[in-house]
Amino acid sequence: MESTGQNPPQRNHTTLVEFLFLGFSDIPNIQEFLFWLFLIIYIIILMGNSLIIIITHVEPSLHNPMYFFLGNFSFLEICYVSVTVPRLLTDLCRQTRNISFVACATQMYFFLVFGATECFILTAMAYDRYVAICSPLLYSIIMNHRLCIQLATGCWVSGIPVHMGFTYLIFSLPFCGPNQLNHFFCDIPPVLTLACGDTLVIEMLIYVIALLVVTIPFILILQWTYNI
């Protein structure tokens, strides 16, 4: 007897190897203006934060915890904007705005890590001011050099393993459809919209990480500010 069953048709998928930024492509007439605008802003950020770092390093009277964290924050701001702005400036100057799969994952990873570090450093700066105001006599004992180094190190490294795993999960999803990112850098929402697989777990993790990285530091800063 001859079988009449038929196998379901196989759907051909092409795994993406690169993404294409849409960015400001819908407003081509002002891209030159945007290039110079973002370039000037970027230069101002680099110069301003570099000046803060240099002054806090060479001026002995500024060698205290407050300016130590301020120097860290300024260096972080340079790193943070350098993840996205140079790429944006390059894309505004050329016709093709493609980015490889690996480069997109790398950009997202550093963007998330530096964003988490910013939240942690702001929390450390708030704690420093809380101790300085509420316990001025014990300030130099509590906020000693060793604690400052530990806090700064913790701020810089805490987000690394979390966002390394998170970025890996995002880019482990299958990407088999359109490759056009409706953004000018690899942010989470536009990348997830291109994923073919189930993104529910990733979306739940976004809320969990936001709670740990943003909400808890925000609550701590509010509490210390209220106690002052």
Q: Any idea which residue has 């759907």 for tokens?
A: 11
How far apart (Å, rounded) are the C-alpha atoms in residues 194 and 16? 10
Query: What is the pTM for the complete model shown?
Result: 0.87
Query: Where are the domains positioned within the chain?
Result: 18-227
How far apart (Å, rounded) are the C-alpha atoms in residues 105 and 163? 11
Average pLDDT over residues 70-96: 92
- Asked whether residue 156 carries a pLDDT value surpassing 70, the answer given is yes
Q: Any idea which residue has 């995002």 for tokens?
A: 170
How far apart (Å, rounded) are the C-alpha atoms in residues 21 and 28? 14
Q: If DSSP codes are grouped into helix, strand and coil, which group holds residue 218? A: helix
> How many residues are present in the chain?
228
Confidence (pLDDT) at 15:
62
Confidence (pLDDT) at 59:
92
How far apart (Å, rounded) are the C-alpha atoms in residues 82 and 209? 23
Q: What is the dihedral of CA 141, 146, 152, 154, to 10 degrees?
A: -110
Copy the structure tokens of residue 156. Answer: 């810089």
The answer to whether the CB of 118 falls within 8 A of the CB of 215 is: no
Task: Count other Cβ atoms within 10 Å, centred on residue 18.
Answer: 12
Residue 65 identity (one-letter amino acid):
P
Copy the structure tokens of residue 153. Answer: 């190190």
Confidence (pLDDT) at 16:
66
Domain 18-227 has CATH 3.90.950.20: no
pLDDT tens-digit series, residues 94-107 = 877 889 989 999 99
- Asked whether residue 85 carries a pLDDT value surpassing 50, the answer given is yes
Buried b (16+ CB within 10 A) or exposed e, 154-179: ebbebbeebbeebbeebbebebbeeb
Nearest Cα residue to 21 out of 171, 179, 194, 167: 179
pLDDT tens-digit series, residues 161-170 = 989 999 999 9
